[in-house]
Amino acid sequence: MYADYVARRFGIMLLVIFLAVTINFVIPRLAPGDPIEAQLNQLIASGGGAAGDVQAMAASYRARFGLDQPLWHQYLAYWNSVLRFDLGFSLANYPERVSQAILAGLPWTLGLLGFATLVSFTLGTLLGGIVAWPRTPRFLRAAGSSLLVFSSIPYFLIGMILLYLFAIVWRVFPAGGGIPFGTTVGLNWSTVSGLAWHGTLPAISIVIAEIGAWALGMRGMLVSVLGEDYITLAEAKGLQNRRIFVWYGMRNAMLPQFTKLALTLGHIVSGAILVEVIFSYPGIGFRLYQAIQTNDYFVIQGIVLLLTISIAVAMFILDLIYPLIDPRIDGRGR
Amino acid sequence: MGSALSFEFGRLASNRALFAGLLVLLLVCVLALLGPLFVDDALARVGATMPRQPPSAQHWLGTDGQGRDMLTVMLLALPQTLKIGLVAGLISLSVGVALGLVSGFAGGWIDNIIRVGSDVMMTIPGIAILVLIAANVRVMTVGLMAVIVATLSWMVATRAIRAQTLSLRERGYIQVARLNGTKGLKLIFVEVLPNLLPFIAASFVITVSQAMLATIGLEALGLGPQNELTLGMTIYWAQFYGAVIRGMWWWWLPPILAISLIFIGLMMTSIGMDSFVNKRLGGRS
């Protein structure tokens, strides 16, 4: 059964990667006109870069994509370059390679996203449990429920309000960037504190917006778990409330939360892109925004491809882990 | 006794959520319908007034960095934003319901294809593909925006309707109708669809809210309709001209509040509907 399940999920991952690469190949070719020429003309019109650069770039692109060759040939060539992680050059920052731009932004995004997701997952799950637990004081439950409202608001809107309050009005945190200017990056205190100082506001805006979603899921699950016979038995046995809450209630209600993690991964990443934009945080999302601003087509394409593939792979890995922690999942239900 | 009481309370609370949510949405819609009648379009053009004015008696919400009256901008942007959400929601709901019904009824390889398709689409982060499409479209309009967003938000409705169709298919009255010789389209439209209505309504709310989330995200990245006023584009321009850093709260706060209000209304409606729909189902079986 597990083998079937793994095969199915693996197939879906391959299909997603195949589709992502294909869409990346097809969409620019559906647009009217020659994208490279249009982009380069725009670049010349805006006065950026010397004429020699532009010619060299155009030649390099034509050679790279073999635009004079038949379509299937171009398609195979595209696959070949994608597999070698060769995504072309940045138009705005020539001769920077797209792969370099992505690698430079990746650690920031992964760090911010990983940290914020971990915190919101933990806090949200706990909050949901507390709200659903019938012996929680009423005011605490009401306060917890009102937090759920934030889950419906896009992350970056909360980010803008936080930015205004904490960076402009009260000047507690910096208004942008990932680390104080001139910090020598290394394993030292100034790096860590600088990262934390700059990362706090973006992380908090993601956490505030996410907590509610986790809490909602957890509340629903815990309510149904608390109706199970084994909870009644535990109560009849005279076990302590806390023991029932943690070991009988929370532990069983938590498993579907991990499933939800995979389903919301795409949503979390999309939200984080805009949070990075608001705080000028030097990750992938901010780079994407800059690329859109400067019509830097190959950077846009590269980042989109990377996001899609990495989410597909991450979901596959999560899917592999679930049946191990929750034997009820065996692929039949999904 | 205690559980019966809390059940009644839960029902009341869920209806209250539905009621409050619908009320908020109604208010927003009324504002969107009537608002544009009371404003002068000219005030929403670049350079119509003195730029960067804080709220005053003359300009209730101040003016933005390019001299547009913010109140006028807000009232004109609101209906456009709702329009994108509703149109995108309707398109993806129709696609979702159609695919869900076909998938649930046909079964076999058709069902498999639709299921794998929606699984795959769920895995692809919508905004990534949207960015790619939007970056390739020369002139973005409100209508085109709705279509683009709709192509990537039909999966939730498809899954929900498919699951419900599968369970409805086995119900007694459907079997009876089948034995009586009701077939194909008549079976679907007369016997199945009316019973799916609560689920369709619930899916619609979720679909609209997803579509609006995607739209506003795209617009905030600068990929929205450049020549039309929407709430997301207002936020984009505020961000572009550094309104937050310059302390011009009257520029970015109104669109944020309007968007938040819409989303809170949608969420409360969705939560209310969810328990309503589930109660109905629980009561019947």
Q: Which domains does chain A have, with CATH numbers?
A: 113-284 (1.10.3720.10)
**Rounded-to-integer distance, Cα A151 and Cα B12, Å:** 23
* DSSP tag of B183: -
Which residues in B lie closer than 8 A to residue A160 (C-beta atoms)?
A: 235, 239, 244, 252, 256
Name the more confident of A57 and B177. Answer: B177
Q: Which B positions 46-65 lie with beta carbon below 8 A of chain A?
A: none
Q: What's the alpha-carbon Rg for chain A, to the nearest Å? A: 24
In this structure, what token pair is assigned to residue B179? 């034995």
User: Are B223 and A149 an interchain contact pair (Cβ–Cβ within 8 Å)?
Assistant: no
Is B213 at the interface with chain A, CB within 8 A? yes
User: Are B132 and A301 an interchain contact pair (Cβ–Cβ within 8 Å)?
Assistant: yes
HSE-CB for A212 with a 13 A CA cutoff: 18
pLDDT bucket at B28, cuts 50 / 70 / 90? very high
In this structure, what token pair is assigned to residue A298? 């190959």
Look at residue B41 and tell me if it is in a domain.
yes
Look at residue B20 and tell me if it is in a domain.
yes
Q: Which A positions 146-165 lie with beta carbon below 8 A of chain B?
A: 149, 151-154, 156-157, 160-161, 163-164
- The whole-angstrom distance between B187's CA and the closest CA on chain A is 27
User: Are B120 and A12 an interchain contact pair (Cβ–Cβ within 8 Å)?
Assistant: yes
pLDDT bucket at B83, cuts 50 / 70 / 90? very high
The whole-number pLDDT of residue B95 equals 93
Which residues in B lie closer than 8 A to residue A154 (C-beta atoms)?
A: 213, 216-217, 259, 263
**Rounded-to-integer distance, Cα B69 and Cα B45, Å:** 8
How many Cβ atoms from other residues are within 10 Å of residue A274's Cβ?
28
Mean pLDDT of B261-275: 86
Nearest CA in chain A to B120: A16
| Residue B113 belongs to domain with CATH number | 1.10.3720.10
Of A27, A266, A312, nearest to B132 by CB-CB distance is A27
User: Are B222 and A293 an interchain contact pair (Cβ–Cβ within 8 Å)?
Assistant: yes
The whole-number pLDDT of residue B3 equals 47
HSE-CB for B44 with a 13 A CA cutoff: 17
Phi, psi of B151 (to 5 degrees): -60, -20
The whole-number pLDDT of residue B284 equals 35
HSE-CB for B203 with a 13 A CA cutoff: 28
* In contact, B136 and A31? CB cutoff 8 Å: yes
Q: What is the pTM of this model?
A: 0.85
Residues of chain A with pLDDT under 70: 1, 31-55, 62-68, 328-334
Nearest CA in chain B to A216: B271
The whole-number pLDDT of residue A32 equals 62
Which residues in B lie closer than 8 A to residue A209 (C-beta atoms)?
A: none
pLDDT bucket at B263, cuts 50 / 70 / 90? very high
Look at residue B76 and tell me if it is in a domain.
yes
Interface test with A, best of B111, B113, B131 (most A CBs within 10 A): B131
Q: What is the pLDDT of residues B43-59, one digit of tens each?
A: 888 877 888 888 888 88
Is B113 at the interface with chain A, CB within 8 A? no
Find where tokens 């997803």 sit. B210
Which residues in B lie closer than 8 A to residue A278 (C-beta atoms)?
A: 239, 244
Look at residue B54 and tell me if it is in a domain.
no
Omega before B125 within 30 of 0, i.e. cis: no
Is B120 at the interface with chain A, CB within 8 A? yes
Name the more confident of B60 and B32. Answer: B32
User: Are A31 and B120 an interchain contact pair (Cβ–Cβ within 8 Å)?
Assistant: no
Which residues in A lie closer than 8 A to residue B21 (C-beta atoms)?
A: none
CA proximity to A216, closest of A111, A114, A131, A120: A131
Look at residue B4 and tell me if it is in a domain.
no
Of A157, A270, A278, nearest to B127 by CB-CB distance is A270
The whole-number pLDDT of residue B13 equals 58
The whole-number pLDDT of residue B131 equals 83
The whole-number pLDDT of residue A333 equals 45
The whole-number pLDDT of residue B79 equals 93
The whole-number pLDDT of residue A279 equals 92
Q: Is A48 left (phi over 0), alpha (psi -120 to 50) or beta?
A: beta
Find where tokens 């725009």 sit. A42
User: Are B119 and A278 an interchain contact pair (Cβ–Cβ within 8 Å)?
Assistant: no
**Rounded-to-integer distance, Cα A198 and Cα A201, Å:** 7
Name the more confident of B189 and A334. Answer: B189
3-state secondary structure of A10: helix
Nearest CA in chain B to A22: B129
User: Are B125 and A301 an interchain contact pair (Cβ–Cβ within 8 Å)?
Assistant: no
User: Are A149 and B122 an interchain contact pair (Cβ–Cβ within 8 Å)?
Assistant: no
The whole-number pLDDT of residue A152 equals 81
The whole-number pLDDT of residue A33 equals 58
Which residues in B lie closer than 8 A to residue A290 (C-beta atoms)?
A: none
- The whole-angstrom distance between B134's CA and the closest CA on chain A is 10
CA proximity to B209, closest of B121, B270, B145, B273: B270
DSSP E strand boundaries for A150-203? none
Nearest CA in chain A to B124: A308
Is A35 at the interface with chain B, CB within 8 A? yes
Nearest CA in chain B to A316: B123
Domain containing B276 equals 16-47+59-282
Indicate the number of domains in chain B.
Answer: 1
Is A44 at the interface with chain B, CB within 8 A? no
SS3 content of chain A, % helix, strand, coil (to 5): 75, 0, 25
* In contact, A88 and A24? CB cutoff 8 Å: no
Is A304 at the interface with chain B, CB within 8 A? yes
**Rounded-to-integer distance, Cα A162 and Cα A74, Å:** 47
CA proximity to B229, closest of B58, B52, B48: B48
HSE-CB for A40 with a 13 A CA cutoff: 20
- Model-level ipTM above the cut of 0.90: no
Nearest CA in chain A to B130: A304
Is A12 at the interface with chain B, CB within 8 A? yes
**Rounded-to-integer distance, Cα B36 and Cα B43, Å:** 12
Look at residue B5 and tell me if it is in a domain.
no
**Rounded-to-integer distance, Cα B64 and Cα B39, Å:** 17
Look at residue B6 and tell me if it is in a domain.
no
CA proximity to B165, closest of B114, B120, B199: B199
Of B120, B132, B253, nearest to A16 by CB-CB distance is B120
**Rounded-to-integer distance, Cα B198 and Cα B206, Å:** 13
Is A312 at the interface with chain B, CB within 8 A? yes
Look at residue B52 and tell me if it is in a domain.
no
User: Are B124 and A292 an interchain contact pair (Cβ–Cβ within 8 Å)?
Assistant: no
Residue A330 CA from chain centroid, whole number:
26
Nearest CA in chain A to B127: A270
Nearest CA in chain A to B116: A12
User: Are A274 and B259 an interchain contact pair (Cβ–Cβ within 8 Å)?
Assistant: no
Type of residue at A255: L
User: Are A289 and B221 an interchain contact pair (Cβ–Cβ within 8 Å)?
Assistant: yes
